Amino acid sequence: MKNPKSQDSPWLIALYISGGGGLLAVYIVTGFFAGRWLAEWLDGPRYWLAIGTVLGLFTGILNIALLIKKFLGAQSE
């Protein structure tokens, strides 16, 4: 008999993938707004928007990589 807490469900895998995409979007938008806020608050150049967005992208990719590592680690047990 299968373990009822098994994570072999295709719906659970789809949820993880779509959640990762949502997280990436949130990090990018957060980085954009943080860069815009810093540019306005410190009266800095407008390219801080791009720096904030790229930092948000890299942070989101790192978070997704950790999520995948956690998910794959749970699959091997």
**Tens digit of pLDDT for each residue in 16-72?**
778 888 899 999 999 999 999 999 998 888 889 999 999 999 999 999 888 878 777
Residues 56 and 34: beta-carbon distance below 8 Å: yes
pLDDT level of residue 1 (50, 70, 90 thresholds): very low
What is the domain partition of the chain in residue ranges?
Answer: 13-76
